[in-house]
Structure 1
């Protein structure tokens, strides 16, 4: 049974995030495009300003510029604990439906995990939809991860939450095809089936207090760029050949619109012989492992450390 703290956040987060169904595709696109132009929200915004003092005390932060097609380059932040020279790297791809930037929840969780692992953390700030599609960042993310695989003697953990989880799996598939592999994959409530090939998605939408199916359909179309690209492995990696991937751990709750995709990935991994450990938690909401204060997140963090060690 979900904890009281989890249930409190399940009611609070949709209000804070102003969760609602789509008014219209045109209005949502205009809202997001305007939001991306606001001070502190564009591709040059840097890490969340609320974390700057925290970082200066405990970490060094180096900003790298990654090249993308057609001038769509973007930064990645390499965060290293002060006084350490890590041999291991955590590359984390943030969630947000491909339309929202990295936020303090992502950064705090990733740096906490990296610190416990004795690793540096690399946080790519990839270009967002609707202005951009997967084509504007995929190659650069593959090359970035491959470079850190080569430069990390103790391996690279490639992780992602929500949209970033699907992106991490898509990057891992391309790396596999090119003969490169991170040591582990960590997928937190990943969005891995943007084309909704799972008929259970409609029913799941009725119990999710946070995500809405009308918005996710719009975001999926923008990120894919075309209907023909919705089933590409770079967009819907659950539909790809999953053999030959590194060991992986996945978390998702059943009060999550994306959980049918998690179940689909679990089934297809088993068929492909991929070593995916899938943790399905009844009644828990989207990305519960990175939520603050809830005991379910603490349990997931312990499971993660055990898996990665």
Structure 2
């Protein structure tokens, strides 16, 4: 049975964020573009207590910032790249920063936290190629772990596929050592069997709005099936060991289950941890189950 803290959060979320069905996607598009031009993912002030934070810029057309948080000791054994979720349209939440920083501390890692351009003003084309090249460069320097939650989990897998392809073509020397996928939004076509049933159990995410946000990130219906957008539908061979976590009360659970099945079919080593009765991205929520998830993720990285 989920913990008391989890049950309280499950009750609170739909009250704090009541579901609103999108009836005018173009009006929402304009509203999000205007909103996102006035905000940006930036490191919280408390991160500087344990890390020295610097900023790098990657990409074309002005690019976007990547924040590099190096332990104040100056010593680290690996680099953790965390890609935040938020339907590709929202800046990083403080809980995503807290999760990534805690995981970096537990794994003796330098934390890299990209502030990728947000949809709907931008699409995957403004992020995935740049992040793929950047992560490939990090892999050439040492051990890299790539993690992501929700949309960030889908982005993490898309980047991993891209780096894998660079290694295959001889354009990069190494892949990430591990992947951590937390309730990844990795199939934007909504094709996984059982998606509607999973959505009916989810008190937070709305299946009615799924396709609008998917198209915002893809840019076009034709791009929805591309591996850069829906990496779960791509070639999943020759990928690094991965830990996949998803709760059963999550609209994305059916997609996670399908991804784990595809992984098993092609020999991709994936540890699929099912959170029975748990919410979307529960490892980053203020619930008791998050502590155990963080501990297991850290052990997987160190193992």
Coarse TM-score class (shorter-chain normalised): over 0.9
**2:80 pairs with 90, 100, 106, which one?**
90
Label 1:186 to 1:20 Cα distance change in 2 as closer, same or farther (>3 A).
same
1:79 is displaced (CA, Å) by: 0.6
| Match in the other structure for 2:163 | 175
Describe the SS at the equivalent of 1:75. strand
| Match in the other structure for 2:103 | 113
Q: Deviations over 1:19-43 (max 9, x none)?
A: 43223212321221222133xx14x
Q: How many residues align?
A: 296
**Partners of 1:286 and 1:72 in 2: how far apart?**
34
Consecutive unaligned residues in structure 1, runs of 5 or more: none
**Partners of 1:87 and 1:303 in 2: how far apart?**
18
1:214 is displaced (CA, Å) by: 2.5
Label 1:73 to 1:18 Cα distance change in 2 as closer, same or farther (>3 A).
farther
1:18 is displaced (CA, Å) by: 4.5
8 Å Cα contact 1:106/1:290 also seen in 2: yes
Superposition pairs of residues 6-155 of structure 1, within 5 angstroms: 6-38=6-38, 41-42=39-40, 46-47=42-43, 51-52=44-45, 54-68=46-60, 71=61, 73-152=63-142, 155=143
8 Å Cα contact 1:72/1:127 also seen in 2: no
Give the TM-score taking structure 2 as reference length: 0.94
1:267 is displaced (CA, Å) by: 0.5
Q: Deviations over 1:53-94 (max 9, x none)?
A: x123221110101123xx151000001121223231000000
1:116 is displaced (CA, Å) by: 1.1
1:215 is displaced (CA, Å) by: 2.2
Consecutive unaligned residues in structure 2, runs of 5 or more: 168-173
8 Å Cα contact 1:72/1:136 also seen in 2: no
Label 1:248 to 1:14 Cα distance change in 2 as closer, same or farther (>3 A).
same
8 Å Cα contact 1:252/1:279 also seen in 2: yes
**1:157 pairs with 138, 142, 145, which one?**
145
**Partners of 1:247 and 1:111 in 2: how far apart?**
22
Describe the SS at the equivalent of 2:277. coil
Say what the alpha-carbon RMSD is for the aligned residues. Answer: 1.4
Which portions of structure 1, spanning 4 or more consecutive aligned residues, are displaced by more than 4 angstroms? Answer: none
1:297 correspondence with 2:290 = yes
Describe the SS at the equivalent of 1:230. helix
Describe the SS at the equivalent of 1:10. helix
8 Å Cα contact 1:165/1:187 also seen in 2: yes
8 Å Cα contact 2:47/2:101 also seen in 1: no
Describe the SS at the equivalent of 1:187. strand
**1:266 pairs with 260, 265, 270, which one?**
260
